[in-house]
Amino acid sequence: MSKLQLALLMLGVVVIAAVVIFNWWQERRFMRENKSRFDEPESDILMKTEDFRIDTDRAVAFDEAENRRDNKPADTIPENALLEDLQPERMEPDFSASPVSQPILQPTTTPESAPIAVEEIEYPAGSRSEPEPESEDEITISALPQAVSEQIDLIAEATLPLPLNLATFAQTVQQLPQFDKPVQWLLQDENGRWLPMAEGSPFDRYSQFIAALQLADRAGAVSEGALSAFRKDMQHLATSLNAELTWHGSPDPLHYATELDRFCAGVDVILGFNVLQGSSGPFSGTKLRDIAESSGLRLREDGAFHCEDKHGHTLYTMTSHDQRPFQTAMTPTVFYGGVSFQFEVPRVASNSDAFDGMVLFARHLEKAVNGVLADDNQRALGEVEIEKIRQHLKSLHAKMAARSIQPGTPAALRLFS
């Protein structure tokens, strides 16, 4: 072995030994640091009783100062405080001008010559002895009533400076020209409740009124002339009452009404089918009546049997196939060659359940009179065809929901009337 190789070998041994010693020293230092880090401290400043007592005393002193400030007498309020915010100044109406007979707006004060009648309210047993005063927010909130809808109405909301004289206001409304679509008039009383004008009381005070022009119905969209006249008349009425007028609805009501009418035409569908006579021949009128009444259907003045919900709304109808109206006093000599079932999609809430109920009753009647369930082309309907109708019904329901007009709601009943 040469001297160079021997020198390199010795150098390698020294380097390896140095690395081993350095690692051992690093490990020892790391263990000492960990031990010192996790050992309990001899004292914890957070647990010193004296320091904690001092902080508590400071907190008590601070609370006492806050209480003294909150309980400061009222006469120490600075002179420049906004006392109007604490107690609004009472504004009396000015009667210096010449009086006008039966003003639409009347002052809130009561003449001294007219005594104020206090009505005692009796509450049922177990209820609170007196009504809780309504908060200011509950009275001043002016949310739109459920009777109107921005989806189908152009709404004019007027905020009045003084309460309305209902009798004079009603006469003013009656003198307005008739529009080609219905208009709803509602009044808001001092408790924030909205009432139809016809149900208003002349002794109540009304701070706001709403006039809502319906934009479409089954006769079509509102005309441009009616829209223009309605907006002009409402603006004139608000100006005469010195009222603040706010409009709710589409900024372009004429275009919106046209689109709304087009939407209505696409979903205004009447689903139906028939139960026609089979091998046993025509149906006895008395038997039809007995089956219908025992199943909960009611004969109305229109000569059709109606299946109704708990609110009296029609779910579906059963009429004679030849359009003869059913009579209240049917005789055994009256016969029918078939009956027809009809279901107005946009006017029925929960229409999937209502449609299933109509199918169930039709199947029951089909067996009872030995008839045949068929479409308008007199083709027999099986479960496959019924399911296709059911899927079409679901798609119509989805279209109405996407427009935020749910079937069977008050808005839908007005829109499809």
For residue 105, name the pLDDT band (cuts at 50, 70, 90). low
Sort 331 into a burial class: Cβ within 10 Å, 0-12 / 13-18 / 19+. Answer: exposed
The secondary structure of 139-188 as a DSSP string is: HH--PPPTT--TTTEEEEEEE-SS-B-HHHHHHHHHTSPP-SS-EEEEEE
Given this model, what pLDDT does residue 24 score? 76
Structurally, what CATH architecture does the domain formed by 143-264 represent? 2-Layer Sandwich (3.30)
What's the pLDDT band for 107 if we cut at 50, 70, 90? low
Classify domain 268-415 at the CATH topology level: Cell Division Protein Zipa; Chain: A, (3.30.1400)
Give the mean pLDDT of 61-83.
44
Range 256-273 average pLDDT:
95
In the prediction, which pLDDT does 22 show? Answer: 78
The structure tokens 């006492």 sit at 64
200 or 398: which leads in pLDDT: 398
The pLDDT score that the predictor gives to residue 19 is: 78
Count Cα atoms within 13 angstroms, Cβ side, for 131: 7
Name the pTM for this structure.
0.63
Q: Which pLDDT tens digit goes with each residue over 277-304? A: 998 899 999 999 999 999 999 999 999 9
- Supply the angle between the helices 383-402 and 253-267 in degrees, to the nearest 10: 170
3-class secondary-structure state, position 241: coil
Residue 43: pLDDT band with limits 50, 70, 90: very low
Is the confidence at residue 41, as pLDDT, over 60?
Answer: no
Q: Where are the domains of the chain?
A: 143-264, 268-415
Shared fold status for 143-264 and 268-415: yes
